Structures are given as structure tokens and as C-alpha cells.
DNA sequence: GAAATTAATATGTACATACATTACTACAAA
DNA sequence: TTTGTAGTAATGTATGTACATATTAATTTC
């Protein structure tokens, strides 16, 4: 069986089902509009109840990844090209979901002294070094984002970690640190020398700038992240209700 | 009983329950952190099954309006209350809050035929005219945003309204149309001739571009709004929790 | 051949039920 | 005072079942 579910695992079945559906979604044939197996059959194959399967599907429908249609079936939502704000997929996962393979152009990890702003956010003194990570990423030979991240020393990162793994997974698995709250500020800027160079664009070109403050469960500061996106390569979507 | 559900109504019970929860959420005491009735009891009071009630609660939890906690209960997510409602301040209110007085530079109102995209969003034919509003606003003698808005003919705007009043107030008071859902896309662009001219910047300068789809209670399309903000004059903030 | 009818098939709604897990409370033991 | 333990109250997980509804596809009728 290609897909299967472990009934003995402590991980809830609907979560397993959700993960499984996500990997199905990532597959090319479903990306191209092929219908997923119908609920009754799929539930039978996975040996879970239809209710449980629907719980998993519902979540993805809500996220906008799947679309249901009566008498027809359920398929991947092709219209959803842009990302949802409250979905916490990491950058690479997000891109993978859209069939874009990410290439890392640069990856520098160093220890630096924080400036005033950073020390203030982390609630530490400026003589305590923090881990800084710089990263340029993009598709094929075209970089489109330049990230700078600072991590709170509390986490316990050494700098020798495998930063090619999804970041939040790394933090969650290895350092039992879970990012639960993020405050972001988005604005447009003109690229300065450094950024223009990293993104291979001309000085003064537009970039989307995202500043991100990430907190853990206890609302303690975790990460300070700056992202410079080449214009038109990134669309930020927000949905709000009152 | 204050809250109740009509079992004879053709509207699904879980939808009725959802609406009911929304009105509970709107109440002050719950806004202030009071726990909702527990699921078992509430289901009993409403005479629906716990499963059905959970279906309704789940949706609101997904939306981030409610937060569940084991052994404690379910309550309104206070973090979203503040930031979300902030999001819904109108432009001039928002600016007033920051001590900036807004000046209107241009205000054009015309009737135009919608293009394909707009007609599709409004779910109307391309031969039905819609109201278009263009606006340049800023502080003292410096314009910093160029808005283009299209309004659904259903609303009943004539074009002779006083558009200097706050927009959402106008719609709510005079046309009993309440905007409840907005989907936004934010990206960075280079200004073209038209935009550069409106904002008095040079061609190719960075602008923050915000595309906004606004819906009413019934999720029917209301307004399509394009906003071009001069770089550094506008920061978009988002807060999200998982 | 066109229009109306019927059947089939997928998701949609709803219930009753059971046990698991989490985390708070209170009390007892060390 | 601290630590352990049992009880309890809430949400979390999961199943089986039944019928409703919408939409496509096939069939019959005109």
C-alpha cells in the first residue's frame, strides 16, 4: 500500500490522515487537477472512519488547499497560488507545496553581538552573543529572497545544526521549542547595495520587506527575522473577519 | 432561553450554531474572557449533538476567534479581538490614531464597465456598469497613497454620495451593507507612469501594493480595492497565532 | 432529436456513544 | 514544605450509522 496509517502510533489518526493528504497534495497528478479518492473508499483503504478522514480533509479545505464538490469529488485548489498568513508552513514547505524547488544560494551562520533593538526584543544584554543566520534562496538560478534571522540564546542552538532542514521542524524536534505567535510588519523599500547584490537586482529596485517577531508558547521572544523579497516574487495574503 | 436553534429551519444546525456562537462572541462578557458554556451542557441546551456543536466551534477555532483549553474550557481569543478590529479601522481613522491629518488630493467617481477579473469577482456580466472611485490622499502637500475602488451595483450607490465621510460608515449607515470579510494580497512593485504621477515620485520607485477583496456577511462580494502606497509611508502589521 | 425523468454517486448533515488525554484540585504522605 | 496520588471536569479522539442533497449520467418519454 502506498499510503497507510499506523493505528498503534500515539499520533492521532486524523493528524496522520492530514499529513498523508498533504503529501498527496504535493504530488504532481493531484496538483494537475486529478480528483482525490472519494471519502468512503479512502477511509476504507486507510482503515479509519469516514468521520475521521473528513476531519482531516476539512482542515485542508479550510486552509484553502482542497476544494470539494458534490457528486464530483475533492481536488487540489489550483487557484491558491499565494500563501495564507496564519498557516505556519516554513518557507521551503510552502514552496514545495506549489511545486517550486528551492535552492539555497548562500547560508552563513555566525555569532554576533546584538544591537540595541535586538537586545531589547530578546531581553538580554548587548554583550551576550546571539546566533545570526543569513540566507539567500530562490528557484533555479534566480534568487528571490534574502533572509536574516537572529535566534535567542535560550534555545540552545550551537550553530552547527543542519539548517537545510525546515527551520521550525528543527526547533520543534531537536530543541522542543515551539513557535506559536508571530508579529509581522510588511512594507516596501528600495534595495540598497547589499540587498541588490544578494538578489542580483539593480540598486533602488523595489523589494518587499518583512520584519518578523516570533514568540514561543509563553510569549517569550524566540526569533527576529528580516526578509527582503524581490518585487513580484512574493505575495502576502491576509484574511480578516469582523 | 436566550439562545436557541430552530430544528425545523432548512439552515443546517451547525451553521445556526456557528451564527449563535458568533453573536455570543460579540457579547461583552465573553469578550472580556468569560468562558463559554462547556460543550456537553451547551449541546444539551441547544438540543443538538455535541458533534454538531463541535463542528461549529471548530470553525471558529480555525478562524482564530476561539481558543480551547483542556480541563478549562473555550473562550474568545483576546489577541485577535484587538488586532482584527484594528485592521478594520478605515484609512482616515487609522491615520488619525497616529496623529496624522489626511488631505484628499483627488477624488474621482465614475461609472465604468468591469474587466474580466472584476466581473468575475462581482459575479456580474461585463456589460453591467460599476461605480469606480479613485482617490489620492496624503498629509499636507505630500500624497502617499493612491486608491482605486470598485463597488458592487447591488449596494445601490448612485455616485452622488458624500465620499468624504468614512467609507464603511457610509455603507453601514446609509446602505445597510456591512463589510465583514476581507481578503488581501500585499506585494511590492515598481511605480508605473500613472502611479508615479499620482504619488509625485519618479517612475520605477518602490510602492507597496495592496489588493483587497471585501465581502458582506453572506460572503457576497462588495468591493474591490487597489491601493498603491509610497514606500516607507505605510507598514502593514499582522499578528498570527497557532 | 429534444425534453423530462430517473438513477447513481459523491459530499453534506446529524446523531448516539465510548474512551483517551490533559490539567486543575484537594488531600495525603514523606 | 514538598512531593505524590487520586479524583474530576473539561476538551480530544474515534467509531458506526443513517439519511439528505446536489449534480452528473443514463434512460425514458414526447
Number of helical (H) and strand (E) elements in chain B, helices listed first = 9, 9
Q: Where in chain B is CATH 3.40.1410.10?
A: 88-230
pLDDT tens per residue, range B193-214: 999 999 999 998 999 998 888 8
Residue B36 has pLDDT above 80, yes or no: yes
Instruction: Choose between B92 and A10: higher pLDDT.
Output: A10
Please give the mean pLDDT across all residues of chain A.
Answer: 80
Q: List, in order, residues 6 or more apart from B57 with CB less than 8 Å away.
A: B21, B39, B66, B68, B74
**pLDDT at residue A40 in the model:** 92
Under the banding of pLDDT at 50, 70 and 90, the label for residue B191 is: very high
CB contact under 8 A, A235 and B187: yes
Selecting from A58, A183, A207 the residue whose C-beta is nearest the C-beta of B188 gives A207
CA of A216 to C1' of C16 (A): 40
Task: Flag whether residue A241 sits within 8 Å of chain B, measured between CB atoms.
Answer: yes
Q: What is the pLDDT of residues B39-72, one digit of tens each?
A: 999 999 999 999 999 999 998 888 777 889 888 8
The class level of CATH for A84-237 reads alpha beta
Is-contact B213 B183, C-beta < 8 A? yes
B8 Cβ contacts chain D strand, under 7 Å: no
**Nearest CB partner across the interface for B180, out of A59, A188, A241:** A241
Q: Which of B209, B175, B218, B172 is nearest to B189 (CA)?
A: B209
Window 83-122 of B: residues touching A by CB (8 A cutoff) are: 84-85, 87-88
Instruction: Please report the ipTM that was assigned to this predicted complex.
Output: 0.58
Task: Give φ, ψ of B208 to 5 degrees.
Answer: -90, 125
User: What is the per-residue pLDDT for A8?
Assistant: 87
* Per-residue pLDDT at A2: 61
What CATH class does B13-78 carry? mainly alpha
- CATH 1.10.10.10 maps onto chain B at 13-78
The dihedral region occupied by A124, where left means phi > 0, alpha psi between -120 and 50, and beta the remainder, is beta
Closest CA in chain A for residue B187: A235
Torsion of CA A188, A193, A195, A197, to 10 degrees: 140
More confident residue, B128 or B91: B128
Instruction: Mark B54-90 as b/e (b = at least 16 C-beta within 10 Å).
Output: bbbbbbbeebbbbbeeeeeebbbbeebeebbeebeee
Give yes or no for CB of B54 within 7 Å of strand D: yes
| CATH T-level topology, domain B88-230 | Chorismate lyase (3.40.1410)
More confident call, B28 vs B146: B146
Query: How would you classify the pairing of strands A179-190 and A206-216?
Result: antiparallel
Confidence (pLDDT) at B83: 44
Contact criterion met (CB < 8 Å) for B190 and A231 = yes
CA distance A13 to A187: 41
What are the residues facing A196 on neighbouring strands? none
According to CATH, where is 3.40.1410.10 located in chain A?
84-237
Question: Is it the case that residue A209 has pLDDT exceeding 70?
Answer: yes
The residue with greater pLDDT, A190 or B82, is A190
Q: B174 or A190, which is more confident?
A: A190
CA–CA dist A46, A44 (Å, integer):
5
Please tell me the predicted confidence (pLDDT) of residue A93. 58
- Which residues of chain A are in CATH 1.10.10.10 domains? 13-80
First to last CA, chain B: 35
C chain positions with any atom within 7 Å of a protein CB? 8-18, 21-24
Percent of chain B with pLDDT over 90: 30
Q: How far is CA B19 from the centre of its chain?
A: 18
Closest residue to C22 by CA to C1' distance? B70
Q: Is B237 on the interface with A (CB under 8 A)?
A: yes
Tens digits of residue pLDDT in A128-154? 899 999 999 887 678 888 999 999 988
Is B13 in contact with B43 (CB distance < 8 Å)? no
E strand or H helix that includes residue B17? helix B13-26
pLDDT in tens, B108-119: 999 999 988 888
Q: Does CATH place domain A13-80 in 1.10.10.10? A: yes
Q: Regarding predicted confidence, which is higher, B13 or A89?
A: B13
β partners of residue B240: A182
What's the pLDDT band for B98 if we cut at 50, 70, 90? low
**Nearest beta carbon to residue B242 from set A86, A229, A235:** A86
Distance CA A178, CA A167 (A): 11
For residue range B122-164, what is the model confidence (pLDDT) as tens digits?
A: 888 888 899 999 999 887 778 888 999 999 988 888 888 888 7
Q: Å between B80 CA and D18 C1'?
A: 39
Are the Cβ atoms of A242 and B207 closer than 8 angstroms?
Answer: no
Query: Does residue B229 contact residue B208 with C-beta atoms inside 8 Å?
Result: yes
Residue A179's nearest CA partner among A135, A134, A212, A145 is A212
Residues recorded for chain A? 242
Tell me: pLDDT of B15 over 80: yes
Cell 478594520 belongs to which residue? B88
Query: In terms of Cα–Cα distance, which of A153, A155, A158 is closest to A173?
Result: A155
Better-scored residue on pLDDT, B203 or B187? B203
**Mean pLDDT over each residue of chain B, to the nearest integer:** 82
The answer on pLDDT for A4 being more than 60 is yes
What is the number of other CB atoms lying within 10 angstroms of the CB of residue A2?
Answer: 6
- Structure confidence at residue B155 (pLDDT): 85
Amino acid at each position: 500500500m502506498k499510503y497507510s496509517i499506523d493505528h498503534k502510533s500515539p499520533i492521532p489518526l486524523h493528524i496522520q490522515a492530514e499529513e498523508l493528504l498533504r503529501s498527496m497534495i504535493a504530488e504532481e497528478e493531484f496538483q494537475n487537477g486529478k480528483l482525490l479518492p472519494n471519502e468512503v473508499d479512502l477511509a476504507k483503504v486507510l482503515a479509519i472512519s469516514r468521520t475521521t478522514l473528513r476531519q482531516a480533509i476539512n482542515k485542508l479545505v479550510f486552509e484553502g488547499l482542497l476544494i470539494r464538490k458534490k457528486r464530483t469529488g475533492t481536488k487540489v485548489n489550483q487557484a491558491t497560488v499565494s500563501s495564507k498568513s496564519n498557516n505556519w508552513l516554513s518557507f521551503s514547505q510552502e514552496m514545495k507545496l506549489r511545486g517550486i524547488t528551492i535552492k539555497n544560494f548562500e547560508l552563513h551562520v555566525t555569532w554576533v553581538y546584538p544591537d540595541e533593538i535586538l537586545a531589547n526584543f530578546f531581553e538580554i544584554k548587548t554583550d551576550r552573543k546571539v546566533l545570526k543566520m543569513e540566507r539567500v534562496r530562490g528557484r533555479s538560478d534566480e534568487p528571490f529572497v534574502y533572509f536574516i534571522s537572529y535566534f535567542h540564546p535560550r534555545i540552545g542552538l550551537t550553530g552547527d545544526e543542519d539548517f537545510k532542514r525546515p527551520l521550525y521542524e528543527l526547533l520543534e524536534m531537536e530543541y522542543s521549542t515551539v513557535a506559536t505567535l508571530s508579529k509581522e510588519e510588511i512594507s516596501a523599500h528600495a534595495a540598497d547595495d547589499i540587498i541588490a547584490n544578494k538578489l542580483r537586482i539593480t540598486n533602488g529596485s523595489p523589494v518587499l520587506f518583512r520584519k518578523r517577531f516570533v514568540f514561543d508558547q509563553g510569549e517569550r521572544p524566540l526569533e527576529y527575522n528580516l526578509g527582503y523579497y524581490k518585487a513580484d516574487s512574493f505575495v502576502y495574503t491576509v484574511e480578516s473577519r469582523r
